[in-house]
Amino acid sequence: MSQKTLYDKIWEEHFVVDREDGSTLMYIDRHLVHEVTSPQAFDGLRQNNLIPRQINTIIATPDHNVPTTERAKDIEGIKDPISKLQVVTLNDNCDEFGINQFKLNDERQGIVHVIGPEQGITLPGMTIVCGDSHTSTHGAFGSLAMGIGTSEVEHVLATQCLVSQKQKNMLIEIVGKLQKGVTAKDITMFIIGRIGTAGGTGHVIEYSGEAIENLSMEGRMTLCNMAIEAGARAGMVAPDEKTFDYVSDKPFAPKGKELEHAINYWKTLKTDPNASFDKIHSFSAEEILPQVTWGTSPEMVTHVDDSVPDVKEDNKTLMSALDYMGLKPGTKIKDIELDQIFIGSCTNSRIEDLRAASKILDGNKISKNIKRAIVVPGSGLVKKQAEAEGLDEIFKTAGFEWRDAGCSMCLGMNPDQLKEFERCASTSNRNFEGRQGFKGRTHLVSPTMAAAASLEGKFIDVREL
Amino acid sequence: MKNSNLYSGEFACLEKANVDTDQIIPKQFLKSISKTGLGPYLFDAWRFLDEGFLGKKPSDRKINPDFILNKPTYSEINVLISDDNFGCGSSREHAVWALKDYGINVVIASSFGDIFFNNCFKNGVLAIKISQDQINEIFSQQRQNSQKQIEIDLINQKIKIPNIKLIDFEIDEFRKNCLLEGLDDIGFSLKYETEISNYENKLKQLRPWILNE
């Protein structure tokens, strides 16, 4: 029998048919829907007199546009009429087609990539899609999870299949143990720094090695979340006992005998010992230090003890990045002063992230030069859990604003944005120009690095605290 | 939307790697619930010096004279040529809707973000990968001679630019047909109803928790 990778196995398990044009229909097990990339897809269904094929595989929630304050006012709390219309349109579409939605006033509402795992909607071995590139997050459970465009959203709604082509297999091994103070976020940023933002293009990445096995499920989600920033549509980690324990008690997970049956199947979801990969990268965990981006692409990254590189003037891409960021070649990362701190996003807004950040902040105050520091929990339930543990009090005492769940300042579609030229240490995933606000400047870091930077007013090595 | 085999017109070069979809169409325009009308906001933060929002009139905008698409020479382009990893980042199909609404129906680069690449073909936009050396040659020709005429023959997979050797390009047969035939993708997949139903019947036995009935 031929040796297969985890991706090969899931691909074969979901193969429906080869279309006569040479593409493949792949069956989709879960479809997550949010307000921004779905309205045109629902319009398409209506125009063609189609309905969603498998209503029970779909879950919707508003997350991109929603304000993170005044949640008690529900939809009336959305001041921007265009944002409001988009959220209302999601409500109308879900009502019309009978789609299960966690609405804005539901405590289960949150960032779509946080609530999927939280509810057990995400399970090992599944194919999962969403009109959002960070769908790669769900690969942490050993599922094949991919971001898709709106035309594909419509296609999956109508046919429960995605028109696909088999991708190549890439293995990224992180050998050995991480240093203390180094997190999953640092691993994923380090990898992007090494292989580049197009390094994984055309591949599905499987992450393995001792450092990956040691990560919590939250850590693995952070890792896979940024596979897309390495150019790969999907990243995945083989499921293990930690995965089975995590999903077993979740509301949407199978129960009793069916769960046993499922776990037996999930145990087969690993790469065979002699399976071959098209590309293999291997890094030593010890090499990985706390990471900070300095430019306008996630690959423009280095460790906290380093400096902004000596960019040559003829390198247009790098020069324009430094110009946008208002930085000079050779500036020490630790000399970069900050205006705002953002802890949140589908990368780092889970309970473990909030616990780690609050531990750094406990009993301390944010620096005077920080104009605003906000924490945006990934879901209503993460918020509730954090409050039960008293984390909200630690954040508030330190000077952070404690907000309601949503994507918030990761992309600033809601009112949470940087002002022109403001500089932010952010736990999100993209430092693109204007991402957090018009002319705003983003430095990507882990939650503990963001918390440490809030106390110092500039970057500091969290391991020194 | 059936396309003709030949695309001809004028091109502009956007000499920058990793042009992400946030640049192609910034987030504030994703609030639109329509696929049309995004052309005026294409590359908004690069084309204009002021911050844009949906509905802001082009006549009220401060134009960035340095941006390539604002130069009078390139006012009629329908082909855009850029560097490595064009369209990386967010899955927003709005990026392709904006390019198309602006009048760009061909994008050429040395590599593309995977999701953007798929989105192009779903909307009748031709995305072509050629080597970085070929891209660099086109860039330098345009810099030296202000060359902007281009002709693309999709059936024979050739790009013709005066003063440059004919460029062959690769394209998947199914994407090529998709463009030439103006395929109704969903209608095409629904022809496989029997296969999908058979798969679902098997699925109910093998992994009953998936369909949650």
Quickly list DSSP for A5-36: -HHHHHHHHTEEEE-TTS-EEEE-SEEEE-SS
Verdict on whether the full-model pTM lies above 0.95 = yes
A11-34 residue pLDDT tens:
999 999 999 988 999 999 999 999
A–B interface: beta-carbon pairs under 8 A: 193
Could A86 and B18 be called an inter-chain contact, meaning their C-beta atoms sit closer than 8 Å?
no
Q: Does A29 touch chain B (CB under 8 A)?
A: yes
Nearest CA among B85, B69, B45 for reference residue B148: B69
Residue carrying the six token digits 């330190």: A398
Q: Which of residues 101-160 of B touch A (CB under 8 A)?
A: 111-115, 118-119, 122-123
Decide: B19 and A432 in contact? Cβ < 8 Å.
no
pLDDT of residue B189: 96
Q: Does A254 touch chain B (CB under 8 A)?
A: yes
- Cβ contacts of A155 on chain B, cutoff 8 Å: 185-186, 189
Strand partners, A234: A204
Residue A234's identity, in one-letter code, is A
| CB environment B198-208: b (16+ within 10 A), e (fewer) | ebbeebeeebe
Please, which pLDDT band fits residue B184 given cuts at 50, 70 and 90?
confident
Calpha distance A244→A228 (Å, rounded): 25
Q: Does A319 touch chain B (CB under 8 A)?
A: no
Question: Choosing among A10, A301, A417, A438, which should be mutated to test the B contact, i.e. which has the most B CBs within 10 A?
Answer: A438
Calpha distance B49→B57 (Å, rounded): 14
| CB environment A267-288: b (16+ within 10 A), e (fewer) | eebbbeeebebeeebebebeeb
pLDDT of residue A1: 61
Please, which pLDDT band fits residue B213 given cuts at 50, 70 and 90?
low
Neighbouring C-alpha atoms within 13 Å toward the C-beta of B164 = 24
Residue B2 in this model has a pLDDT that exceeds 80: no
Calpha distance A179→A158 (Å, rounded): 48
Q: Does A312 touch chain B (CB under 8 A)?
A: no
Residue A436 dihedral angles phi and psi, to the nearest 5°: -95, 5
- Cβ contacts of A231 on chain B, cutoff 8 Å: 85, 88, 113-114
| CB environment A172-200: b (16+ within 10 A), e (fewer) | bbbeeebeebbbbbbbbbbbbbbbbbbbb
Calpha distance B89→A136 (Å, rounded): 12
pLDDT of residue A316: 82
Q: What is the mean pLDDT of chain A?
A: 97
Q: Does A364 touch chain B (CB under 8 A)?
A: no
Calpha distance B38→B55 (Å, rounded): 10
Calpha distance B97→B211 (Å, rounded): 34
Decide: A443 and A409 in contact? Cβ < 8 Å.
no
What percentage of chain B reaches a pLDDT higher than 90? 88
Length of chain B as a residue count: 213
pLDDT of residue B178: 85
Tokens representing B153? 């023959």
pLDDT of residue A115: 98
B15-65 residue pLDDT tens:
999 999 999 999 999 999 999 999 999 999 999 999 999 999 888 999 999
pLDDT of residue A317: 86
Calpha distance B109→B159 (Å, rounded): 13
Decide: A254 and A262 in contact? Cβ < 8 Å.
yes
Nearest to B123 among A39, A126, A151 (CB): A151
Could A233 and B210 be called an inter-chain contact, meaning their C-beta atoms sit closer than 8 Å?
no
Nearest to A433 among B23, B113, B119 (CB): B23
**Mean of the pLDDT values across residues A254-261?**
96
- Cβ contacts of B179 on chain A, cutoff 8 Å: none
Tokens representing B57? 């009139």
First to last CA, chain A: 53
Calpha distance A240→A234 (Å, rounded): 19
Calpha distance A34→A252 (Å, rounded): 19
**How many Cβ atoms sit within 10 Å of the Cβ of residue B177?**
15
Decide: B186 and A156 in contact? Cβ < 8 Å.
no
Calpha distance A52→B56 (Å, rounded): 36
Could A56 and B212 be called an inter-chain contact, meaning their C-beta atoms sit closer than 8 Å?
yes
Tokens representing A458? 């500039």
Residue A436 Cα to chain centre, angstroms: 16
Decide: A134 and A224 in contact? Cβ < 8 Å.
no
Q: What is the DSSP letter of A226?
A: T
Q: In terms of DSSP H, where are the helices of chain B?
A: 21-24, 44-47, 94-102, 114-122, 132-145, 173-181, 185-190, 193-206
Residue A273 in this model has a pLDDT that exceeds 60: yes
User: Residue A303: helix, strand or coil by DSSP?
Assistant: strand
Decide: A338 and A458 in contact? Cβ < 8 Å.
yes
B72-121 residue pLDDT tens:
999 999 999 999 999 999 999 999 999 999 999 999 999 999 999 999 99
Please, which pLDDT band fits residue B212 given cuts at 50, 70 and 90?
confident
Calpha distance A57→B211 (Å, rounded): 6
Nearest CA among A184, A458, A219 for reference residue A341: A458
> What interface predicted TM-score (ipTM) does this complex get?
0.96
Residue A84 Cα to chain centre, angstroms: 24
Please, which pLDDT band fits residue B1 given cuts at 50, 70 and 90?
very low
**Mean of the pLDDT values across residues B142-156?**
93
Q: What is the DSSP letter of B133?
A: H
Please, which pLDDT band fits residue A313 given cuts at 50, 70 and 90?
confident
Dihedral sign, Cα of residue A43, residue A46, residue A51, residue A56: positive
Residue carrying the six token digits 């946080």: A114
Q: Does B173 touch chain A (CB under 8 A)?
A: yes
